[in-house]
Structure 1
Amino acid sequence: MPMAGCRRPNEGSRFRSVALRRRHSSRRIDYKEPNRIPFSFFLSPIDLHPKPIDRTMKDMRHIISILMENEPGALCRVANMFSARNFNIESLSVAPTEDDTLSRMTLVTRGSDAVVEQITKQLNKLVDVVKLFDLTEGVHVEREMMLIKVRAAGSDREEIKRLSDIFRGRILDVTGASYMIEVTGTSDKLDAFIRAVGDKFVLEVVRSGPLGIGRGERGLKI
């Protein structure tokens, strides 16, 4: 029987192991089993607690062109992805391509580089997406079409027609009290035309949203 106040030979190492575990409890390392060091020991605090994406830093407008399978529900899956991750869509347009099995989607969104990178990664995970790229990363041509119905009566008719000519618009329909005008160009040009006409003359506006295509050899092909 051991004497009072004495420890067995293996008790000292056991107590030292307990003391070391308490001293380094934040890393949770069992020093009695050095070959079983947890993976979290090698991670920095940044890896363990990643910094959330700052959605307000350097928000830029991006036009993303997507080549996707022409299947029912494909558009819904893209919209659900944006909604689930709280990404914003400013405009979206989709139509078939020269290949009947494929559609081309053009969407406009705003965000920092980190946000747009997350958007492209999540889009690439969708089974319907064949290929995509960000048009704003290179030289491209961008156009948007607008149909606008404006009030035009009496002496205002000549002024509205003059503004249409300045912005190279086309008058598509004429009634005794209104004009329907088609204007094509950049989004800034269309906004400027609406401001020039004035809110009191605008009756209805329909816009297609921007469409874009890369210049030169840069393109979206399989």
Structure 2
Amino acid sequence: MFSIRLNASAIFSSATKAQSLHQAYRSFSSTSAIMSTIQDAIVKDHRELEQYYKEVVNSNDHDHQQRFGNQFTWELARHSVGEELVVYPAFEKYIGNRGKAMADNDRQEHHQVKELLKQFQNMKAEQPEFVPKIKEIWGLLSEHIKEEEEKDMPALAAALQDHKDESEKLARSFGRTKAFVPSRSHPSAGENPPFETVMGLLTAPFDHVADIFRKFPDKTVSPNPSTK
């Protein structure tokens, strides 16, 4: 009897995973149809992060701040690793030495932000350091975002003009990658593959399970990464 129950549980688990992957694939296809270029994808994330940040600092309600603080952490962690695994290698591949310098600089800036995010993600909104810490993060992140949008991404867009459909492919890859990477900050993983990739595969499942018990803005738990 125990064996039968165990097998049934394993089958159910496998079926659930298969269904989730199928739903994720459908969501990626839908998202890629709307988001045509990698520059569009990056800018969209940046605007969302800015909105989550504003929701935290412009509110005095601790529950509201906690939910959007969790959302900010969730999106920033995934966005950062997605850039490091998809976008920065594209800088190096298509822009050459200048692209490598851009990528190296961006990785260094990411590490600074990750260190601060690791501190913030474990805070409660009731703590007096909560809002000052996210403001400190945004101080660095906003400068990084400005540089990416005004210099880095336009340079990549120009370099991809002779590579038909590559920007769209990068956007799809970026979306798929974000669904399977950690949703919390892990600075010790570094910012360079393959080490970051290995660490991500190890830590992502734990992050995603823990997200189930966290509050998010839609009054539910654990946002579905396949829809972002």
TM, length-normalised to structure 2: 0.22
Bigger relative contact order (CA 8 A; separation at least 6) = 2
Name the larger-Rg structure: 1
More strand by share: 1
Q: TM (normalized to structure 1)?
A: 0.23
Q: Specify which structure has the higher proportion of helix.
A: 2
